[in-house]
Amino acid sequence: MSIAPAHRGRALSSAARVSLIVLAASIHLRAAQTGFHPGDIWLDTSGQPINAHGGGMLFHEGTYYWYGENKDGRTWLPESTKAWQGYRVDVTGIRCYSSKDLLNWRNEGLVLKAVPDDPAHDLHPSKVCERPKVVFNARTKKFVMWMHIDSEDYKAARAGVATADKPTGPFTYIESVRPEGEDSRDQTLFLDDGKAYRAYSSEKNDTTYISLLTDDYLKHSGKFARVFEKRRMEAQVIFKHAGKYWFMASGCTGWDPNAARSAVADSILGPWKELDNPCRGQRAEETFGGQSAFVFPVAGKANAFIFMADRWNKTNLTDSRYLWLPLQFRGNQPIVDWAANWDLSFFDQKASEAGAKSRAGNPVFPGWYADPEGVIYGKEYWIYPTYSAPYDQQVFFDAFSSPDLVTWTKHSRILDTNAVHWARRAMWAPAAIEKGGRYFLFFGANDIQNNQQRGGIGVAVADRPAGPFKDYLGQPLIDRFHNGAQPIDQFVFKDRDGQHYMIYGGWRHCNIARLRDDFTGFEPFPDGATFKEITPQGYVEGPFMFLKDGKYYFMWSEGGWTGPNYSVAYAMADAPLGPFTRIAKILQQDPQVATGAGHHSILKFPSEDIYSIVYHRRPLGERDGNHRVTCIDRMEFDDQGFIKPVKITFEGVERRALRP
């Protein structure tokens, strides 16, 4: 927390503290802690509640050191911070605990103590001392602690630094500063190849600064970046995984919890790309009732990280609790799942599962996504879906990529209405294709109901599959009804001769049109018509076409998209304009698996006669029409070339990496 901040303290009379200790002992006193119990009272090896809030972790020579704010004494509300309920306790110091196993912690005492005899000192009990973090400088052999130092009214907003010769102190306080000429509140430290960086809330919490420290880690070098401008974050966390930098933080709501933030970057100084709320499970929208403190890797275990958070009790800060939870990665998103009880074997199990996982599983990635367009670009699979939400919220597209159909990376907001001035809502059913080294994304927008409304089918372009995409034409490619077809649900088909066709249409009508070579418009057919209707029997929306063994397979969705009977059927012809003969329905609900299976695309693996169908469906029990998920299952043909009915599964398709 911070300015209009929020802050942490701890309070209790000696009698109340004795009662708390007795209660804690009755709840979780055990010979040795064997697992993590987020939110419960956590006792040290002497049976006392651990007192290290807003803390950080240092791993040094086989031992973990947990540093945090010592919260003892009366919780009270200063007059100067009543407006935002800035409860606090007097500063007593920074406490350290040590452990070999992350479960059983020995109290090493106050490693940095308050200075009660000097009212002007930064560590006087009347001041603020928060968010201590410690790193070891291998050059100077010093342990360096940085912390947030402030006045009672939070107007000083400074960064304090102290050093020690041992991880257990004592630390010697050096000074406090206002780095880069700005204020400094909540903060964290991060070591990267021997260089130390400090990330902190500045500009009254409006912006996060990331500053490189000097080689001795005692000053700011002057090299820094302003990131997440106007995003108002605090409780910053930075860690590294798979060559990327990961960031987590909270919003600024005082002591009250809010949804966690996350972001990723290729360089610690940015640019940073914001991701989703990493929390999953009960109270995920408020970080399980807590606030981020630190993330650290577990020594000796691959891809194992622990997320540390504090569950603040603002009117009785002594009874604030700790939330330690396993952090995982799902694609390009760090994920923290709620677990009431867990232990370190969790990471061994996940490592075993990851090594053994040979199928994609359905849905293939989390979230409500529909109308998936699956394509192959080089050595990667890509899926471009609709964000399945109310129309007024459908103002952007996300994309997902995978090297093997099992591990998916999310690419957020590759295109949104800010880049398409004529689009306001209902951005639907993207269709993706590469041409001439550029990537085109065709899409519907605004859900127009007549020719007087603005909207229809647009096209965007980018230099890479993940975008960012920009509006290609500055106006819709198709903005009117032709042959009764609503201009939505477009698919771009490349024929054997290199001609690209657009096949599209809603309201039970489907048109085909010849795209110009540069995709800026359409070329009339030899008879002068631009849009030819090819609507097959049963057609509703969502057309798709592919060519196999000289035959054109024309597929579509039928039934109501919000209902359980939404499904996929197909027809066949000898030419892209037909005439098409309806064959059968091949994808539909399974009452034991899911309902509303439809609006699909097809993936054919290069140089192999293997096909998969990419589609959306509605999980059993879901009644909201927008609650749709993206799935992939195998699609097979019989000896006559007819598509066999697809079996929808929970297991999905097998892992399959693309060959160079």
User: pLDDT tens across 593-616, in order?
Assistant: 999 999 999 999 988 899 999 999
Residue 321's nearest CA partner among 294, 289, 279, 285 is: 289
What single DSSP character describes residue 355? H
Range of weakest confidence among 15-24, 75-84, 238-247, 446-455: 15-24
Q: Which helix (H) or strand (E) holds 354?
A: helix 345-356
The per-residue pLDDT for range 329-338, each reduced to its tens digit, is 987 899 999 9
Q: Averaged over 366-391, what is the pLDDT?
A: 96
The per-residue pLDDT for range 500-517, each reduced to its tens digit, is 999 999 999 999 999 999
For 270, counting Cβ atoms within 10 Å of its Cβ (0-12 exposed, 13-18 middle, 19+ buried), the class is middle
**Backbone φ and ψ of 336, nearest 5°:** -120, 110
Among candidate residues 371, 373, 416, 558, the one labeled active-site is 371
Structure tokens that stand for 369 in this block: 């996504």
In whole angstroms, what is the distance from residue 37 CA to residue 55 CA? 18
Mean pLDDT of the chain: 93
Is 369-635 CATH 2.115.10.20?
yes
Instruction: Give me the pLDDT at residue 191, please.
Output: 95
Q: Which helix (H) or strand (E) holds 23?
A: helix 14-28
Residue 17 confidence class, pLDDT cut points 50, 70, 90 = very low
Give CB contacts under 8 A, 24+ apart, made by 431-434.
Answer: 431/373, 431/384, 431/490, 431/491, 431/492, 432/373, 432/375, 432/382, 432/384, 432/465, 433/375, 433/492, 433/494, 433/500, 434/375, 434/377, 434/465
Contact between residue 491 and residue 431 where contact means Cβ atoms under 8 Å apart: yes
SS3 628: coil
- pLDDT above 90 (res 25): no
Q: Name beta bridge partners: 267.
A: none
Higher per-residue confidence, 30 vs 495: 495
Does this model's pTM top 0.85?
no
Pairing of strands 428-435, 470-471: unpaired
Residue 623 confidence class, pLDDT cut points 50, 70, 90 = confident
Output the DSSP codes for 260-277: -EEEEESSTTS--EE---
Neighbours of 552 (CB within 10 A): 19
State the sign of the Cα–Cα–Cα–Cα dihedral 24, 26, 32, 34: negative
First-last CA distance in the chain = 49
Higher per-residue confidence, 322 vs 17: 322
Among candidate residues 447, 541, 558, 633, the one labeled active-site is 541
In whole angstroms, what is the distance from residue 66 CA to residue 604 CA? 52
Q: Averaged over 109-115, what is the pLDDT?
A: 98
Buried b (16+ CB within 10 A) or exposed e, 8-44: bbbbbeeeebeebbeebeeeeeeeebeebbbbebbbb
What single DSSP character describes residue 525? P
Instruction: Give me the pLDDT at residue 299, please.
Output: 87
Q: In which residue ranges of the chain is CATH 2.115.10.20 found?
A: 14-356, 369-635
Structure tokens that stand for 235 in this block: 């409780």
Pairing of strands 187-192, 195-202: antiparallel
At the top level of CATH, which class does the domain 14-356 belong to? Answer: mainly beta
- pLDDT above 90 (res 351): no
Q: Which helix (H) or strand (E) holds 352?
A: helix 345-356
Instruction: Give me the pLDDT at residue 16, please.
Output: 44
- pLDDT above 50 (res 356): yes
How far, in Å, are 386, 414, 427, 456 from residue 395 at the CA level?
Answer: 10, 11, 6, 14
**Backbone φ and ψ of 576, nearest 5°:** -65, -20
Higher per-residue confidence, 658 vs 269: 269
Contact between residue 67 and residue 55 where contact means Cβ atoms under 8 Å apart: yes
Amino acid letter at 290? Answer: G
Residue 154 confidence class, pLDDT cut points 50, 70, 90 = very high
Residues in contact with 149: Cβ distance below 8 Å, sequence separation at least 6, in sequence order: 122, 127, 128, 129, 156, 158, 159, 160, 176
Known catalytic membership, residue 371: yes
